Structure 1
């Protein structure tokens, strides 16, 4: 069975102009672009949480200590202080602290004092 054996299924009243719309050279380029998937970018930008690096620099033991102290301070609404080992750790833990204490109706003040992450609950 060849292609010529099939009936013309073009609806009645379908104009020649409409038929050529899909056979015009420019429309083929456009349709080809729609069907052809784009190649992935050369550099993939990783999404990060609050601008944090996707590769954590804080060691697991330090992080465990950090969470235990911060958790207690949040529960008891006390000032939080945590001395960091280096600037990268300080930046990372400041962002983590902010993400844990920030609430729309209860905004803590979070800042770095040299290599110490500090957070103060709002004044009552």
Structure 2
């Protein structure tokens, strides 16, 4: 299955606790908790480009599986990490956060981010 496509967030679990653990300011949490993101993914072999739009904030992540890349955090901070692929999962460990993006079926992506035992789960459907 290919990750390529546009996906709209349909649900999220534990976002506020996760954002607090990450150090997101309360004013950002109040705004972000009710926003639904749109994720556009382009997959070309081992190269990916993800454009994530949440409200007015747009984050673009380009990476090649297994090579170091730069990631924008939810607070706008930039940090480096490596993303690997295991089947239908993209797995990254960056700044203490483990992120797993799984293509669970042809139309559903589930992203689970874990920080210090706090899990944030976001489910998105292909549009």
Provide TM-score, normalisation by structure 2. 0.23
Over alpha carbons, which structure has the higher Rg?
Answer: 1
Higher share of residues assigned helix? 1
Provide TM-score, normalisation by structure 1. 0.24
**Structure of greater relative contact order (alpha carbons < 8 Å, 6+ residues apart):** 2
